[in-house]
């Protein structure tokens, strides 16, 4: 996603911020509509219910607490969502549809956009996907492919604005990190987040601090054995069951990047006992995360 100033318009047809919401970038023809499942009948009466495009069903997996999604394409949103409402089971609670305000999208567009969405969602690994694999890339003419990629960029921006960053990677830039004298707090001025380390006997954790929190990088490892003060047993067990962690001997490994909303749970999972993550995570010069963020009074950050 290319970052530059943009104007996004969000409209509440019923005036209820928890109800149906439409979102669009004022200079583009793509619009998305967020539909609570309880408001599906209300959406079916709207003209966009007859449109062509892609849709995503959302919810949270009650067992893993991970967000879950299903991506699909259709020539008629109303008919397809009614089918999902009747046959897809009870797991989804909100749907988001994306279409053209000029009705210029064809089924060919929709198939390619569906493939793009599944591919990006699989790469981002933020959501548990109900689709499984992304399938085979559809044969598409270069001009239409370029058009679809521009449309998809708009859909990505609008979904993220509405609170569904399904296509956004946890770490946007994988280049080697260079240390900077600028404060980490001013993230907008840095093209690469500063990397921090949590190291001790049997522990080698690497992470990047982002606008969302601390992302522990794949390949980081910590202690499999935990102390009596370890208070994240349930969280770590859930991560093991989800395949985010694996145990080998006396070590526990991160199999992929994992976002923690606060630094202390990230350090605690690695070390096997409760710690203050603001003091434990340090950059390559030895400066703590607390110092780098100019955070003078650390609090209890228990949110994982």
pLDDT computed for residue 44 by the predictor = 97
Nearest to 125 by CA among 258, 236, 27: 258
Q: Is the pTM value of this prediction over 0.75?
A: yes
pLDDT computed for residue 157 by the predictor = 96
CB 34 within 8 A of CB 20: yes
* CA 199/CA 173 separation, integer angstroms: 23
pLDDT computed for residue 194 by the predictor = 79
pLDDT tens-place values along the chain, 304 residues long: 567 889 999 999 999 999 999 999 999 999 999 999 999 999 999 999 999 999 999 998 776 678 999 999 999 999 999 999 998 666 899 999 999 999 999 999 999 999 999 999 999 989 999 987 667 889 889 999 999 999 999 999 999 999 999 999 998 765 444 444 444 444 444 444 479 999 999 999 999 999 899 999 999 999 999 998 888 888 898 899 889 999 999 999 999 999 999 999 999 999 999 999 999 999 999 999 999 887 654 455 655 5
CB 280 within 8 A of CB 222: no
pLDDT computed for residue 172 by the predictor = 75
Nearest to 170 by CA among 293, 266, 258: 258
Who's near 189: CB < 8 A, 6+ residues apart?
Answer: 182
pLDDT computed for residue 159 by the predictor = 97
* CA distances to 71, 189, 194 from 58, in Å: 9, 33, 32
CB 1 within 8 A of CB 152: no
Tokens of 40: 């599906």
pLDDT computed for residue 180 by the predictor = 41
In sequence order, which ranges of the chain are alpha helices (DSSP H)?
40-44, 77-87, 107-124, 142-161, 233-241, 263-271, 277-280, 289-292
Tokens of 82: 């009614």
* CA 246/CA 253 separation, integer angstroms: 5
Tokens of 259: 């976002």
pLDDT computed for residue 189 by the predictor = 43
Who's near 47: CB < 8 A, 6+ residues apart?
Answer: none
pLDDT computed for residue 247 by the predictor = 96
Who's near 118: CB < 8 A, 6+ residues apart?
Answer: 71, 129, 131, 133, 134, 135
Nearest to 222 by CA among 212, 210, 232: 232
């Amino acid at each position: 996603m290319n970052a530059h100033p943009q104007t996004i318009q969000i409209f509440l047809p019923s005036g209820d911020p928890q109800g149906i919401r439409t979102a669009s970038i004022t200079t583009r023809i793509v619009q998305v509509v967020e539909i609570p499942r309880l408001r599906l009948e209300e959406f079916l009466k709207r003209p966009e219910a007859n449109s062509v495009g892609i849709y995503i069903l959302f919810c949270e997996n009650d067992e893993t607490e991970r967000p879950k999604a299903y991506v699909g394409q259709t020539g008629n949103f109303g008919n397809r969502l009614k089918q999902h409402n009747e046959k897809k089971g009870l797991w989804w609670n909100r749907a988001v549809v994306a279409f053209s305000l000029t009705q210029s999208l064809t089924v060919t567009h929709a198939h390619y956009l569906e493939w793009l969405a599944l591919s990006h969602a699989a790469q981002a690994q933020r959501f548990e996907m109900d689709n499984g694999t992304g399938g085979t890339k559809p044969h598409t003419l270069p001009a239409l492919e370029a058009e679809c990629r521009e449309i998809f960029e708009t859909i990505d921006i609008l979904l993220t604005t509405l609170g569904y960053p399904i296509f956004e990677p946890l770490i946007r830039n994988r280049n080697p990190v260079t240390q900077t004298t600028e404060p980490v707090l001013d993230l907008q001025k840095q093209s690469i987040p500063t990397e921090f380390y949590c190291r001790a006997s049997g522990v080698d954790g690497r992470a990047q601090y982002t606008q969302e929190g601390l992302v522990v990088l794949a390949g980081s490892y910590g202690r499999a054995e935990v102390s009596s003060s370890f208070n994240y047993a349930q969280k770590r067990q859930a991560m093991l069951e989800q395949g985010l962690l694996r145990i080998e001997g006396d070590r526990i490994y991160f199999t992929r990047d994992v976002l923690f909303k606060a630094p202390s749970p990230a350090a605690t999972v690695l070390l096997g006992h409760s710690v203050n993550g603001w003091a434990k995570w340090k950059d390559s010069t030895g400066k703590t995360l607390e110092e780098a963020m100019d955070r003078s009074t650390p609090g209890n950050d228990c949110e994982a």
